[in-house]
Amino acid sequence: MKLRHLRGFTLLELLVVLVLTSFITVLLMQGMAYVAKVNETFLLEGQQRQARELVFGWFIDSVAAISAPERGGGSGRFRGDAKSFEAVTLASVDRREGVPVAFAFRLDATRDAPTQDADLVYVRRLEANRWPLLQLPGDAQFEYLDSLGAWHENWPPSSALVDSLPEAVALSSKREQLFLLATVQSPRRRLSVDDH
């Protein structure tokens, strides 16, 4: 009687299939790890971009609703230089709209960063609350536009404008190619009974 040889896979063929399967699995796992890392980076950059846009929107809204000071009154006057400004706004993020809030924006040098960066800080003047909002290059500065279209590093640029507001406030940085313009929407001078 003749024995029939059943044809099957040899041990060598099985080993080759296992090696190829494990090699493909390793490649797929590395690809999945790369995709997960790219996804995490993308989400982080998106969150940072969204936070940046929120801060810039808050800056623009706060400047747009700056309230003109009482004529001759020292409190509530708009004062500013290249690294900070302070005023009274009617659009504070932590109060109801229309409630006057004394505030300031400052560009403070970052202490813990090895680069020459600055933190954009929101300050509630009366309560001395400081909220670091965003990190900007160290060359960032504020500029103030007068009614004649001239830019100034300080406000008021002259004693004649001490009771008035600038037309706009800009936050700029040449290193980051940033120029954020916030226009003042409220009247530039508070009217008094004598003005009628």
Is residue 7's pLDDT more than 50? yes
pLDDT of residue 192: 44
| pLDDT tens-digit map of 76-103 | 788 999 999 999 888 877 777 778 888 8
| pLDDT tens-digit map of 110-131 | 766 556 889 999 988 777 788 8
The DSSP element (H or E) to which 121 belongs, if any, is strand 117-124
Peptide bond before residue 156 is cis, with ω within 30 degrees of 0:
yes
| pLDDT tens-digit map of 143-180 | 999 989 999 999 999 888 888 899 999 999 999 899 99
C-alpha to C-alpha distances, 147 to 7, 73, 161, 164, 177, nearest whole angstrom: 95, 22, 10, 10, 25
Cα 104 to Cα 20: distance, rounded to the nearest angstrom: 65
At residue 48, φ and ψ (nearest 5 deg) are -65, -40
Amino acid at 62: S
Identify the DSSP state of 155.
Answer: B
Judge if pTM exceeds 0.75.
no
Q: Is 176 exposed, middle or buried (0-12, 13-18, 19+ CB in 10 A)?
A: exposed
| Contacting residues for 150 by C-beta, under 8 A, at least 6 apart | 157
- Torsion-angle region of 115 (φ positive above 0: left; ψ -120 to 50: alpha; else: beta): beta
**What are the structure tokens assigned to 187, written together?**
């009247």
141-145/129-137 β-pairing:
unpaired
Domain boundaries, the chain: 60-190
